[in-house]
Copies of this chain bind each other. A is one copy, B any other.
């Protein structure tokens, strides 16, 4: 499927009009999240690298023109002005893994207006989704308090591509592994997995299943012990592991029932069997709240496997993201209508240790000790450096999340920090608003 036609029709109708009108002066669009959903005290920037991949390859081919024409029920000739249009603009972005807040641009695209417009939908789809999942996954890492968390979400994500993106963003915030083989091998993440209930059921009994699994896998194995009766399953697993002289790196997985009580009982049984090194993996409908409850209760869990609720960011499956025109041909612009006022102008976010972020205009001087979040990552449609890697993104995440106020990091009713607006940006916003209100009055008067 062409990435170019994976777009809203209106991007095409607008771009065509812009080209016809000769409106190809530089436009800046700002991609940001208006407000955080309940249950989030911060966001984690994700999706910038895939976005740059997309922009690097963006070029309207003849086949794309034919599809545009078909969608508009017009002759392909009418769409010819878009042929060959490529993305040759500038991108400033917040590197992946950084903590961001409401209203702060995740990326700003500056390019001739038709190009900057045509890429809107795809960029929003990539960045909104990945930032949503990364922000949920980040909370799981915080809840686990140093215990490894692994991603088991692929089966319930919104299709296979969403599963890949979920595994990637989970890796970005420090998950210890993913069950997704494609994601693990492409991204260099540890692959993680055990066995299904169906595996146990396919054998005459649990012992036969566990022994067969160990025959196929000479390294560490993890047995799923809750297919029939969990305590009996643990006893069988312990017997097989002892018989085979395995233990180090091995584990048992609990996937149902009262995970707190069962993990304690399992720990007792394993210790009594002389297998203190065998780890307990838990799964089954967990998200940060489930992990937090087990960690706070002191459940003897070694590895937390989270899936569906994290991979779909189930309690907040979308972010209120926007891709707003903030400047055209040097003129700051904004929208006036109710409840969705956005600040005009190209922006920068300054972060100072211990203080609130400052949302400022791009060219404002950097306050003392402040760090700018937005970096220029693409110019003339080309990346300015090699692709970023997940390890670097993870290091940024750890640094940023550690510096957050505790109220932003807590599980229940977190309080998102609110960025300050610089006096210059506030003044510009007010000035543009006044100009637009006057203009709207004039337009109304001329009816």
Bound-state CA distance A9–B194 (Å) is: 8
Bound-state CA distance A160–B256 (Å) is: 34
Bound-state CA distance A156–B313 (Å) is: 13
B193 pairs with A9, CB closer than 8 A:
yes
The answer to the question of A181 belonging to the interface, with a C-beta cut-off of 8 Å to chain B, is: yes
The answer to the question of A447 belonging to the interface, with a C-beta cut-off of 8 Å to chain B, is: yes
The answer to the question of A439 belonging to the interface, with a C-beta cut-off of 8 Å to chain B, is: yes
Question: Which of chain A's residues 204-257 have a Cβ closer than 8 Å to chain B?
Answer: 205-207, 212-213, 215-217, 219, 226-232, 235-236, 239, 256-257
Per-residue contact bits, chain A 145-182, to B (CB 8 Å; 1 contact, 0 not): 00000001011111111111100000000000001111
Q: A212-B21, A229-B337, A336-B227 are in contact. Are A443 and B74 (CB under 8 A)?
A: no
CB distance from A128 to the nearest CB of B (A): 5
Q: A159-B162, A317-B314 are in contact. Are A154 and B186 (CB under 8 A)?
A: no
Bound-state CA distance A236–B187 (Å) is: 53
- Chain B residue at minimum C-beta to C-beta distance from A328: B202
A13 neighbours in B (Cβ, 8 Å): 193-195, 213, 216-217
A71 neighbours in B (Cβ, 8 Å): 181, 184-185, 191
Bound-state CA distance A235–B436 (Å) is: 17
B12 pairs with A196, CB closer than 8 A:
no
Number of this chain's copies in the assembly equals 2
A160 neighbours in B (Cβ, 8 Å): 1, 3, 6, 122, 125-126, 161
Per-residue contact bits, chain A 253-296, to B (CB 8 Å; 1 contact, 0 not): 00011000000000000000000000000000000000000000
The answer to the question of A363 belonging to the interface, with a C-beta cut-off of 8 Å to chain B, is: no
Which of A318-326, A352-360, A370-378, A415-423 lies at the interface? A318-326
The answer to the question of A338 belonging to the interface, with a C-beta cut-off of 8 Å to chain B, is: yes
A226 neighbours in B (Cβ, 8 Å): 337
Contacting A312 at CB < 8 Å: which of B113, B158, B439? B158
A155 pairs with B212, CB closer than 8 A:
no
The answer to the question of A440 belonging to the interface, with a C-beta cut-off of 8 Å to chain B, is: yes
- Chain B residue at minimum C-beta to C-beta distance from A54: B160
A321 neighbours in B (Cβ, 8 Å): 155-156
**Residue in A113, A179, A196, A436 with the greatest tally of chain B CB atoms within 10 Å:** A196
The answer to the question of A192 belonging to the interface, with a C-beta cut-off of 8 Å to chain B, is: yes
A154 neighbours in B (Cβ, 8 Å): 6-8, 121, 125
Question: Which of chain A's residues 1-28 have a Cβ closer than 8 Å to chain B?
Answer: 1-3, 5-14, 16-18, 20-21, 23, 27
The answer to the question of A402 belonging to the interface, with a C-beta cut-off of 8 Å to chain B, is: no
Bound-state CA distance A266–B214 (Å) is: 71
Bound-state CA distance A117–B339 (Å) is: 51
**Residue in A14, A192, A340 with the greatest tally of chain B CB atoms within 10 Å:** A14
Contacting A161 at CB < 8 Å: which of B113, B159, B201, B205? B159
B73 pairs with A219, CB closer than 8 A:
yes
The answer to the question of A32 belonging to the interface, with a C-beta cut-off of 8 Å to chain B, is: no
Q: A6-B160, A193-B9, A198-B324 are in contact. Are A443 and B185 (CB under 8 A)?
A: no
B7 pairs with A124, CB closer than 8 A:
no
Bound-state CA distance A193–B113 (Å) is: 19
Bound-state CA distance A251–B319 (Å) is: 29
CB distance from A346 to the nearest CB of B (A): 15
Contacting A155 at CB < 8 Å: which of B9, B121, B199? B121
A409 neighbours in B (Cβ, 8 Å): none
The answer to the question of A67 belonging to the interface, with a C-beta cut-off of 8 Å to chain B, is: yes
The answer to the question of A334 belonging to the interface, with a C-beta cut-off of 8 Å to chain B, is: yes
Bound-state CA distance A215–B16 (Å) is: 10
A334 pairs with B201, CB closer than 8 A:
yes
CB distance from A18 to the nearest CB of B (A): 7
Bound-state CA distance A34–B180 (Å) is: 24
- Chain B residue at minimum C-beta to C-beta distance from A333: B201
A residues in contact (CB < 8 Å) with B: 1-3, 5-14, 16-18, 20-21, 23, 27, 29, 67-68, 70-74, 113, 117, 120-122, 124-126, 128-130, 133, 152, 154-165, 179-182, 184-186, 191-199, 201-202, 205-207, 212-213, 215-217, 219, 226-232, 235-236, 239, 256-257, 308-309, 312-314, 317-319, 321, 323-325, 328, 333-340, 436, 439-440, 443-444, 447
